[in-house]
Structure 1
Amino acid sequence: MMRVSAWVASLILFAVFIYLVLTGAEQVRFISVAFVLVFAVLATRLDDIQDLTFGPTGLAAKLAKQLEEARATVKQLQDFAEVFAARSVQQIAGDNRMSGLSPKQKREAISEIVRGLKSIQLPDDRIEKVLSLSNPYDDYDYWSWTMSPIYSAENKEVQNLANQFYDISASKGIGHNPDPDATESFLKAHGFYRGEIAERIIDWQYWKANRKHRRLDEWEARHEKRKQAKSLEDVLNLSQEQRANLMANPAG
């Protein structure tokens, strides 16, 4: 009721203000009416007014409802974007390991998501939380990349040795693979910590510490190179004598 009355008063005061201006009334009169008109208009939003201040340049009012609605809209946008981005990052990271998006395409797609989240000023800690969903997939890929030459070795004794360390046939998949330190210990104990395999362990440990890829080109080309897979002996960069020793005594 009060708001309706204020609207009616505003219309009447506006009409009086126009009349006084057009009839050349004294300046003090129409200024006084204008001042009352301002308050009448403000009264129409009385329940929204958060703050009212006077200054040398005039009068200012903060409308709480509009401010809260604007904040709510931004928060809702951020919340929606965070949920959408989280699911997208997880889906991209979990994309089929040997088909679908290439590692480079995955990285570029996730970078686009991050740019979008930053453009709506989603806090960095929430962006990091979104990105962390890809960590178990990258960790599993580093383990698989490091160990694949050993599991696919032509020497059955080498394969059995690897399965004693971690039986891939009984693996629960993403998030359940050995960590880089345990893998490094296994490799060193059996003479596999050398050549490209040692480099991959170092890459894995670097990623674990920094969430960045030490050899990005090698990391993104790993699937293509796997199609042209070298023998375990080639990956380890063994001499002819060392190759013979490995075949004869794979347990080190």
Structure 2
Amino acid sequence: MSRAPVIGLSTYLEPAAMGIWDRPAVVLPRVYTDAVLSAGGVPVGLPPQPPTAEAVAAVLDAVDGLVITGGKDVDAALYGETAHPENDAPRPDRDAWEIALVRAAIERDLPLLGICRGLQVLVVALGGTLVQHLPDLIGSSRYSNGDATFADNPVITVPGSRVAGMLGASATVKSYHHQAADRVPPELEVTARGDDGVVQAVEVPGMRFGVAVQWHPEESPEDARLLTGLVEAARAR
């Protein structure tokens, strides 16, 4: 029997209170690890750290698949723009580490899934740009309810894409974002959009599994198709 594939998940580095201690801590919402477990993988956390070639290689040597998780906005300076007033404060530790992981995963053909911020990291890592505040573009906050409440939104997939193969022609997904892909680099293909044209999924052509989605599949435990696809690709590898 083949072993369960090990799936690395990028993590946050945030202040955290634990009993009498209140210190910076490596954290990740449990829904991510539960989703990987439910899909048949073994989750391991990959905390932000200096992205040396040695560190990146050591980490990717040890995992069978990679998830770039959600979180704060990517620093606008990384794609040559001035930050929008609504943007989060930059997190250079995560940006540098995750961009290095993504680039190396593509070179290795390591199964890769980007979630929300993860899609934006992938776009920026390959030279693309982001819409910094979607309400300025579409005139509403339909993709971010605020107050930690996920919004339900439709996505329409591109026929023949990997995302379409997993989700079908359309799906209703859980959204919590105020940014999205703008200029998509030529190394990526857009494989799903919202009914308003906003990019909702991209894929890396030629990879055994190189998918990033703008929504949060981990928030829909009844629908594990994307995480299952990642884990199956990692197992086959």
TM-score, normalized by length of structure 1? 0.20
| Greater fraction strand | 2
Report 1 or 2 for greater relative contact order, CA contacts < 8 Å, sequence distance ≥ 6.
2
Larger Rg: 1
